[in-house]
Structure 1
Amino acid sequence: MKTNLGIVICENFIEEIEFAVKTYNIKNVMIIPFASTCSKATNKKNQCLIEAINLCEERCNKTFIIIENNCCCSNLEDLINNKEKCTLYKMEHCLNLFINKDVVNNLLNTNSYVITSGWLKNMDKDNTSVILDRKPNKLLLLDTGIYEDSIKEIQMLANNLNLPYDSFFVGLDFFHMFIEKIILDWKLELKNKKKISNIKFLREEKYKKLKDTYKLIEKKKGQLLYILDSIYEGVFILDTNYKILFVNKGVEKLLNINNFKSVLGRDLFEIGIVHKDYRDIILNRFEKVLKHNISVPIIEEKMVQFDGNIIPVNIYSGAIEYEGNPCILSVIRDISEHKKSENLKLKIQEQSRLLDKAAEYDKLKTEFFANLSHEFRTPLNVMLSTLQLLNLIGANKTNTDSKDKISKYYNIMKQNCYRLLRLVNNLIDITKIDAEYFKLNLKNENIISTIEDITLSVTDYAKNKGLDIIFDTNVEEKTMACDADKIERIMLNLLSNAIKFTSSGGSIFVNILDKDSSIMVSVKDTGVGIPKDKQLSIFKRFVQVDKSLSRKREGSGIGLSLVKSLIELHNGTIKINSEYGKGSEFIIELPVKVLPESENITSDEDLAKESNIQRIKIEFSDIYD
């Protein structure tokens, strides 16, 4: 950086100023003279002066220009390029550098041509027209003391011009004070500039740091916005009035809108995205956030997209300061895909369960058909064997003994035919029920007498097995809509099971309880009972407690399943209470419903009912003596 001072001064005073700089050991000062045109420069451009100034500006950081007003150059202010670097000293007369203006004015009033020692030394002695043009009365030398031959030179000049002369010693004290003032002004200016420079430097440093900090903040802000715009979740910042101040790009996908910024400045509860079922919940959460300056737990809610589609979301809400104000930060995640994944997982689990159930069902069917083959084969073998015996008896002569045997074998074949018929009937009915083709023939019946008649009809059969059947009811008559044929079939199946699994000497109890809106029927025995782990499965299709083909009691495994289906067709229920080794109790509950008279019509099927005896024989056909 340039730190020297430049002084532009008339060449007539160059000797004096150089002497002063050397005498006072003034450093960093460059003196650049310009040619004197005292008699020609008025109102004209002094090219030499301009060149000196330009040179000084180029080499120095500060330039002081010393000129005589309206003499050296009249329009110098307009010609200076850098006015800030240049200071212009204008004097009424250049002699004011050496003596005060009053003395100068007095000297000039005498019509004397005044010159200084330096001027005299440098002037062209052959060109004296400048002096003669002024027509002075005499020559006056202001002796500054820097030129030893000044008196001799002025005497010679005066002789050549034929003019009287005089000398006046002024020295350089006045001139030195002027130069010192210039130097002091320069130093003060340098000092102020340094202060200003330091202040400016500090300010620039501070500004730079602020700018760097701002850039860093903007960079971090940009990174944060990039991150916010890159995440899947929708981010909302709301003021205390629930106006939306900020959203990220994730809101576009979350709300299914084209421009996420379109919601800025709008009330969250007025843009239609808050589901009506969750409005109060969200308001309550927001109030807690603002009141206690806390975060509330993530909850699952529903949100309405701009196209009206409702999606499940997880919402986090917490307190945040945004632009110096307390606000609410809400982060919302669309969990539709997660829900689909969960639903798919549940479906897979359900399908796995159904597959397991189907495998179990398939196993049961396999066991059932293995058992069914036994159920068909046994009566067929008995019938075939009986026919062979009858053939042998027929080959011999018929006698009384043979007639008894034929009667016995006939009954055996008939019982097994009943057994096959029962099995086929059950298979047909269970197939109809599965196909929803099976229909009830409902009619208003006295349910009490229907059940009592069925129970009493098997009493003799039970006595032959050494069993007592005890019937009891708390009401003698109860009319309700039912299919009497199916009720009879239900009761015969339950009584058949009770007789089959109760040893001789045991008892069977049939009780009816009127509960006004329903009828409860209980069939209880003192038989072998059913283990706890088997009780839940006895009403399932094809299930038997004893699965071995060598079991003591016959059965296909669809009797109780059919019973349950028939009861459910009546909108009723059946349950079991049993303790292994102590007997079982089956409890039926049927709702009471009465048909209008117009619907209570006896069908042809009712008129063609089989006799109770034949029904008992069919239902009890798998009980052998």
Structure 2
Amino acid sequence: MNSHENSIKRKYTIEDLENILDSIPNCIWTKDKNGEYTYVNKTFSENMNLSKDEIIGKTDFDFGNTKLANIINEDDKKILSRNIPTLSENKINVKGKKRWFEIYKTPLKRKNNNLPWIMAIARDTTFDKTLDEDLQNLFNSNELNNDIILPLINTKDIINNKNTSNKYLYKLQKIIDSLSSKLNTEGISLFLYNKSDKCLNLYLNAGKSNIDIKEIVPLTNNDIINLNKNVYNNVFEVSKNSIFSTYQKKYQKNNSIYCIRSCSIKYSNDLIGVLNIYYPANYTPKFSQEDFIKSTCNKLGILIKNHILSCQLKNEFQKRLYIEKELELFLDTATDSCALVDFDGTFLKISNNFTNTLGWNEDELLYKKFQDLIYPDDIEKSNNFRKNVRNSGKFKGSGLIHRYLCKNGQYKTLEWNWNLIQDKNHIILTGKDITEEKKLKEEKKHLEETIALETLKTTFFANVSHEFRTPLNIILTAIQLISIKLSNCPCSEDKEKIFQYIKGIKQNSYRLLKLVNNLLDLTKIDGGYYELKSIKCNIVNLIEEIVLSVADHIGSKKREIIFDTTEEEILTSCDPEKIETILLNLLSNAVKFTKENDSIEVNLNVDSYYKNVVISVRNSGSKIDKEDAKIIFNRFTQLDNLLNRRCEGSGIGLALVKSLVDLHGGDIWVNTLFEDGAEIIFTIPIKELESKEISEFHTKTLNANIERYNVEFSDIYNL
């Protein structure tokens, strides 16, 4: 120290200097060349969570983190060897947490001592670093990804829908929490400006403020003007006339908050919101916070505005995506096939229904041209269509029908409607598969022709039958008169021979009459005007009396008929005359195929549910196989070859029998399991009528129809 320096009297003490260093919010320390701490200020010791005495005289290796100690030791050696100061940013573990520090180190030469020291100052930049990282992460997350899916238009949408954007809200809350901790405040509230409702809506809270999240601060027109004029652009304390004055009084009592500092959040002079910072009474911050608060508010303004813009873009993107998906869904669910082709016939886009119709998948069709699928005979029509579209100036049309090749090799007929996109030379086609419709039309036409033919045939049979009946009645009447006259004639050498001729004429007339009657009955049934005259009767007696009435006639043919039943009485509703027709036809058929001196069996039972009467007619003729059993009840069907028939018959008797059984609601079939001949079985449902009177089908009535039996058995010859 020279004489001048000695003449200067210091006006401060070492204690004054240490108090000054302890009041600085940054960490300050000195080390000797061996790395031992020679001085630390209060902020440093607080960060280390140790007293000054516990730190001074020790090296970094004494605090347990060898890896960090090695890094610091190497850095200190470089500074001493180079003899120049350095400024660096380091991440250090403090109290179990990773924190960032901006560290300034410089070599310090001591007076009268050539051994240098190191002096360092470290500023905690953790909040700034974290804030920048969080902001950057939020900017990245606001890109068009799946983290933010809600379309937000303005701050009101953010307020109303904040719970849906979890990542954004979490990061923003983290920034507010960190800011509150950094500024050592009672709490912080973030208000967002709601332009449409002219108010500030509370959006986020941090710290101990416990402010109602539904809080709304209304704004007058004057408040809005002041906000737009940047009156609240800087940090200010809430005054009595401030927009937050009522708000401040409300929470001073509840939370012991006596001071609110506010700063507007803006982006390009557009008000985004307001940041309120709450301090306890008589609180004095260690350093001025205004620039730091303003910087943070500027970053928040960028962040929130970026979020709004990103969501607007996201909203537009989502709308377009939704429209495309909706259109695609419409095309896929539409019953019509849809395709987009160019004038060359190349497929540009196709619907699922189009691929489903033809069987080709989308990739296969996109490699084909429209003409590749068209049926060869329809190609010329397709080419003419494309020429007409080019030359006619028409932009849409319908009724274009082509056949198209399916993947399975078959062809389907499609009918198209089309629209021309003129500026792109594309054609939109919407079509439907009319293959089945076309097939049904052809089948309908064929059916109508068949019905017309059947109607003509039925009418013809009806007319022919009526025309036959008149001459037959005349012939039978004449034969009857001749027989009477001949019977009264005394003697004649040829009398017996004449009677034989008369018998032949009469039998063939009866046969012809039977054919006419059967044709008339079938015609009436086909026409739908054949009615049953059902009565309540004992069907057991009915069947038995019919069998007994024809027993003599069958006996004269040297055949025997046997009736057997397990029931004495079964009351049901039926038409006795039609039942007689059914049974006589079956017996007539059985007589033809029964050998001489054999018997015909008629059996009557009920089914196990007592719902149907089961009647069977058996003969000892040839067995009917399964194939013949399928067609035996068809009209004009005979099982013997027409050139080699053993028995006469028109082939419509069994068809009539089936129709009459069907009218009764019954069923008829051939028992192909019967091995000793042929057996036909039919059923009649057991029905109850309200009438309690039972009609008897008396033998007297049967005897009056002897001529009818002659008619029914008229086609039996040579027996």
Instruction: State TM-score, norm by structure 2.
Output: 0.35
If asked which structure has higher relative contact order (CA below 8 Å, sep 6+), I would say 1
Which protein has the larger Cα radius of gyration, Structure 1 or Structure 2?
A: 1
